[in-house]
Amino acid sequence: MAEIVVDGYRVTTEQRDQAGGYRILVDGAPVPMTLTRTETIIGNISTSTRQTEPPRAVDWLPDTAWPDSARISLHPDRTVDVSYSEETGYVYNTAVWRWVRILLTFNPAYTHVDVSWNHTADVST
């Protein structure tokens, strides 16, 4: 993952060697993280979002860090918005488009980050 500079702080990730996972670093040091996970399903009639994991402190985030192809944007409220597509699947006559959006919201001192992780699937036909 490329380094991101936010308000003069260098934000990167560190991949864990065993058991998978990664964590957020600010200026090379890990910061405490709170993770919340949600899932959004886009259908023909409606869109629904539900919380799949309530907020909890974590040492490591699941999976691997976002790919180099991720779209990254910075918001003025110390939030980094990361989104990327996942593999598309097919069910009967419907393509299932999947993507991930991760919001990293830092406290003013950049000593803690709230991670909001949303998995989205578009199953509309």
pLDDT at 7: 92
Q: Residue 65: which pLDDT band, with cuts at 50, 70 and 90?
A: confident
Q: Residue 1: which pLDDT band, with cuts at 50, 70 and 90?
A: low
- Enumerate the domain spans of the chain: 32-57+64-122
pLDDT at 43: 85
Tens-place pLDDT, residues 70-82: 999 999 899 999 9
Q: Within 10 Å of residue 58's Cβ, how many Cβ atoms?
A: 15
What is the pTM for the complete model shown?
Answer: 0.85
Give every CB contact of residue 111 below 8 A, 6+ residues apart in sequence: 26, 31, 32
**Residue 67 predicted with pLDDT over 90:** no
